[in-house]
Copies of this chain bind each other. A is one copy, B any other.
Amino acid sequence: MPRTSNAMDRRLKKIIQFLIEYQEKNGYPPTIREIGREINVNSTSQVTYYLNKLEEDSLIDRSGHLSRSIRVNPAGYELIGFNPDEDIVVEKHENLLDRVASAVENLWKIPVYGVIVASEPLPMPDDPTFAPDTTIDVARSLFGINEKPGNLFALEVSGDSMIDAMINDGDTVIFKRQETVNNGEMAAIWIDDDNTTTLKYFYREDDYYRLKPANPTMQDIIIPKRKNVRIMGKVVAVVRQVQSAA
């Protein structure tokens, strides 16, 4: 089942989690075969493949390339979070402080700047120190490994106007503050002429912009380049608390 980049991502996280737990429990790191057994992969090369990915992202370190010598970097601990019911008393390394500190960073409080409505620009404060009245707690593990909390903000969707983006009334959308996106990334886009904000996958083609709704049954929207569009942020996650009724 390849290309399930989501599944792989989870497996990568699971590996880190296992590395931490195993080390906690046994006092030494596991072998790649033990890792494979844990994540239900019995190809050692596949585990190596994962391990390389993790090392590329500096989540682990195995510069030694010896047996049982995989180390989890602080970034790795941060990604997963620290499991407190493990006995930490035995562990008394200098990196303990890092680990404990990062455990507190498991939960990111993301500022909710307001409500997003199709017919209005995003309510983004120019002042970066703007203190929002509400925040939303989000597990750090929901985000990519390179994400930083400072760049993120959230908006609550009001109305059904984002339905083509598969986003409901009441959903909370988490954005990353940026003014450009790569082709194929979902962005909040302000279209000057139409005076609307919309959430679409964004493609910059030769002569036009193409906005692709998340709902695959819907048509792409073509916008000539002379029209003014502005990218307000990249959509990184959507959180929906399902209520009763509707």
Contacts and interface: CB of A to CB of B under 8 A. Distances in A.
Nearest to A102: B104
B242 A240 contact: no
Contacts of A6: 156, 170, 241, 243
Given A24-B94, A99-B104, A136-B139, 6 more contacts: A28-B70, A68-B69, A93-B100, A137-B139, A238-B240, A238-B242
Count chain B CB atoms within 10 A of each CB in A133, A167, A242, A245 and give the residue with the most. A242
A138 interface: yes
Copies in the complex: 2
A118 interface: no
Contact of A68 (B28, B136, B138): B28
Interface string A172-188: 00000000001011100
Count chain B CB atoms within 10 A of each CB in A29, A104, A163 and give the residue with the most. A104
Nearest to A110: B139
A100 B84 contact: yes
A90 to B, nearest CB: 7
A146 interface: no
Contact of A133 (B40, B134, B141): B40
A68 to B, nearest CB: 4
A65 interface: no
Contacts of A28: 28-29, 68-71
Contacts of A242: 186, 235-238
Contacts of A136: 10, 139, 141
B182 A244 contact: yes
A6 B9 CA distance: 55
Contacts of A92: 86, 89-90, 97
Interface in A6-40: 6-7, 10-11, 13-14, 23-24, 26-29, 31, 39-40
B137 A142 contact: yes
A215 interface: yes
Contact of A26 (B64, B84, B163): B64
A68 B71 contact: no
A75 interface: no
A83 B89 CA distance: 15
A104 B81 contact: yes
Nearest to A141: B137
A245 B107 contact: no
